[in-house]
Amino acid sequence: MMNMKINDNNNTNGYTIRNLTTKDIDQYNSLLRYAFQITEQDLTEYGWENGDIKQSKFPVLERADVLGCFDGETLISQFAVYPLKMNIYGSVYQIGFVTSVCTYPEYTGKGIMKKLMFQSLCHMREKHKSLALLYPYSIPLYRKLGWEIISNKITYAVKDRQIPSRAVASGYVRRVNWDNPDFMHLHSQFAQTTHGCLFRNNLAWEEYWRWDEDDTVVAIYYNKEGTPKGYMVYLIKEDIMRIKEMIYLNREAQKGLWEYIRAHDSMIDEVCGNSYYSEPIAFEMDDGDIKETIRPYIMGRIIDIEQFFAEYRCDPDASETMITFDIKDDFLDWNNHAFTVLFSKGSCTIIKQDSEYRVSLSIATLTTLLLGYKNAAQLSRMERIIGSQPSVRKLDDVLFHEAPYISDYI
């Protein structure tokens, strides 16, 4: 990508935007640490030295697209995009995960970040990445630019006496090393069958472990034939078992992992963890009087509607239907018009004609609808979709309705 000069009303000299390379590692690292207030004490507590964290960022600059804005030779703002794959209703999408978004305070309010975002989204479109994800530091800010919430994070706390007592499975659990091939292969299997799950490449796995302590443990559940069917990543500290992640390919593995947790009841007073499934876990507990907190987690944005629909899968059992979408996208002009989509036999095709079924919505609302976080009826009641009730019902008839499972924070 060529360097680009941008003018700013408050700076007649202008700034330069260009891609960062490993030669920019010192400035990249300094901006990250300043913006996110990573102190020497933080690094020491997690076993990092300053040189270690600097070295660990080299792969990011080598494998990700990192755009920076410079005032002269000084890096003042940056916007990184990790290349990843994502399962969307069984179709594997190439997507971009936005991270390391930060600007020095004295340069905020000048429109620099919007320019970096626009150029990065354009670059993703050129690479046929039709969807971008990010972990928001400000939901209202990103909503103004066409992003919307697409997944939740559920945090729970279970007292030792509330751990399920009837969780019995015929297999067994083994603790393994972080680099165990069964562990990583299990996640790949899970991603292949789970809507919304990201496929972890080497860069994503490196980020997965970046801030974990050395005594974090991986435990795998094997069925009686010795086939791995689930795992959990956890840490026991101060009489609390903290579960970073628990995934399972079937009900047996889910029971087996909870049976393993119960085997620690003499060592712990409480189990705390995070769940990224769409449903709270309280209903499944013997004693469902547990503490659960649900909060928005990941935001998404469709970059190119035509590219997105080309890979999108709909309900193959629904009758063939045409629906016209009047889309409002003030940030990316190529989306800002009407699209008619033919939903037929599980596939979607954009056609050049109008339909009797018509809905009006923003690009943000379209994103949360197609990812399954909210259905059309819900969005219509919130006045996020404007259209006749027959149009809204038709839309819900042809779409799948499953909230995405997204556990990664890149």
d(CA 299, CA 103): 20
* pLDDT tens, residue by residue, 175-204: 999 889 999 999 999 999 999 999 998 888
Inform me whether the pLDDT recorded for 263 exceeds 50. Answer: yes
Given this model, what pLDDT does residue 59 score? 55
Position with higher pLDDT, 146 vs 62:
146
> How many angstroms separate the Cα of 243 from the Cα of each of 228, 236, 332?
19, 9, 40
Given this model, what pLDDT does residue 202 score? 84
d(CA 330, CA 114): 12
Inform me whether the pLDDT recorded for 11 exceeds 80. Answer: no
Q: Is 20 within 8 Å of 79 (Cβ atoms)?
A: no
Whole-number average pLDDT of the chain: 89
Given this model, what pLDDT does residue 7 score? 44
Q: Comparing 4-134 with 304-398, is the CATH topology the same?
A: no
Stated as kind and residue range, the H or E segment containing 187 is helix 181-193
Position with higher pLDDT, 374 vs 12:
374
pTM attached to this predicted model: 0.90
Given this model, what pLDDT does residue 52 score? 38
> How many angstroms separate the Cα of 15 from the Cα of each of 4, 69, 265?
8, 7, 59
Amino acid at 408: D
Task: Look up residue 395 and give its two tokens.
Answer: 């839309």
* pLDDT tens, residue by residue, 162-171: 988 877 899 9
Inform me whether the pLDDT recorded for 369 exceeds 80. Answer: yes
DSSP, residue by residue, 189-239: HHHHHSTTPEEP-HHHHHHHHTT--TT-EEEEEE-TTS-EEEEEEEEEETT
Domain boundaries, the chain: 4-134, 154-295, 304-398
The third-level CATH classification (topology) of the domain covering 304-398 is: Nonspecific Lipid-transfer Protein; Chain A (3.30.1050)
Stated as kind and residue range, the H or E segment containing 174 is strand 172-176
Task: Look up residue 153 and give its two tokens.
Answer: 């994070």
* pLDDT tens, residue by residue, 200-259: 988 888 878 776 767 899 999 999 999 999 999 999 999 999 999 999 999 999 999 999
Query: How does residue 287 score in pLDDT terms, banded at 50, 70 and 90?
Result: confident
* pLDDT tens, residue by residue, 67-118: 999 999 999 999 999 999 999 999 999 999 998 899 999 999 999 999 999 9
Q: Is 234 within 8 Å of 244 (Cβ atoms)?
A: yes
d(CA 410, CA 407): 10
Mean pLDDT of 29-34: 86
* CATH code linked to domain 4-134: 3.40.630.30
Inform me whether the pLDDT recorded for 8 exceeds 60. Answer: no
Given this model, what pLDDT does residue 211 score? 64
Q: Is 192 within 8 Å of 186 (Cβ atoms)?
A: no
Inform me whether the pLDDT recorded for 44 exceeds 50. Answer: no
Mean pLDDT of 152-157: 94
Q: Is the domain defined by 154-295 classed in CATH 3.40.630.30?
A: yes
Given this model, what pLDDT does residue 203 score? 80
Query: How does residue 27 score in pLDDT terms, banded at 50, 70 and 90?
Result: very high
Inform me whether the pLDDT recorded for 322 exceeds 90. Answer: yes
| Cβ-based burial of 392 (10 A; exposed 0-12, middle 13-18, buried ≥19) | buried
Given this model, what pLDDT does residue 39 score? 43
